[in-house]
Amino acid sequence: MLLDDKSVYLMRLGDNALVLSQRLSEWCGKGPAFEEDMALTNIALDLIGQARMWLSYAGEVEGRGRDEDALAFRRDSHEFTNLLLVEQPNGDYAQTLVRQFFFDAWHQLVLEALRRSSDDRIADIAAKAIKEVAYHLRRSSDLVVRLGDGSAESRRRMQDAVDELWMFTGEMFNADETEELLGAQGLACDPSTLMDAWLAMVSEVFAEATLELPAGEWMQKGGKQGRHGEHLGLLLAEMQFLQRAYPGATW
């Protein structure tokens, strides 16, 4: 059923932005420099704006009366469809940055494709979001270079983060039936087509950063289908606390 596929797809886009925004806002007031505090808050804010647009649209398409907040605060972990990458804990600042870089590089490619979507509203949201994401990517790739090719300690931390997160990158390019179907209709983007461009972008930045692409080929998957790790449940428990504790209240 097309409408179901479409709302599922929109929810994935919204969940990625929402969960990553939530992770970034955990850094609030605790960043390694004032400018970083500001930048992370800024990116978290951009992402939450994008999450709201995707989730509102998902709720409308779904037609069951769920608005952005119903989707954000009253679904359980198995109903969240974000990539496993974005739910990974912040770790040290290197891990936060590498997670961001992997995601930003992918996000930009996805939004570029969605700007040409046959669905006008998807194209509009993508066109708005891509302006923000172009800045996110510029910032994260610049910091990956500077920290990779920085001190011995920063290089080690960055390489550790790359090795830690690599197995969560494969999922970004696995198309499932929903994506294949909507991709064929020109409504969504088939992510398997983005792999080469993403790898080229990452390789180029890593070369300048003196970081190595991990050899490991085994990739985790399942986030998009609602199969998550243990971290997401705790993230949601915190995020959803008030809506769960006081159902029916208006905030």
Residues found near other proteins in the complex (CB under 8 A): 18, 22, 25-26, 28-38, 41-42, 44-45, 48-49, 51-52, 55, 68-69, 72-73, 92-93, 145-147, 149-151, 153-154, 157, 238-239, 241-243, 246, 248-251
Positive/negative CA dihedral, 177, 55, 138, 95: negative
147, 154 contact by CB (below 8 A): yes
CA-CA distance, 224 to 77, in Å (whole number)?
A: 11
**186 with 114: CB under 8 angstroms?**
no
> Between 157 and 228, whose beta carbon lies closer to other proteins?
157
Residue 186 amino acid letter: G
Rounded least distance, CB 122 to other proteins, Å: 19
Minimum distance, C-beta of residue 211 to other proteins, in the bound complex (Å)? 13
- Based on CB atoms, which residue is closest to other proteins, 45 or 197? 45
Nearer to other proteins, 149 or 190 (CB): 149
| Residues in contact with 126: Cβ distance below 8 Å, sequence separation at least 6, in sequence order | 111, 112, 114, 115, 117
By beta-carbon proximity to other proteins, the closer residue of 46 and 104 is 46
Separation of alpha carbons 203 and 81, rounded Å: 28
Q: Which two tokens stand for residue 227?
A: 């199969």
Contacting residues for 175 by C-beta, under 8 A, at least 6 apart? 183, 190, 191, 192
CB of 93 vs other proteins, minimal distance in Å: 5
Contact 197, 180 (CB under 8 A): no
Minimum CB separation of residue 233 from other proteins in Å reads: 14
Instruction: Report the nearest approach of other proteins to the CB of residue 34 (Å).
Output: 6
Residue 17 CB, nearest approach to other proteins (Å):
10
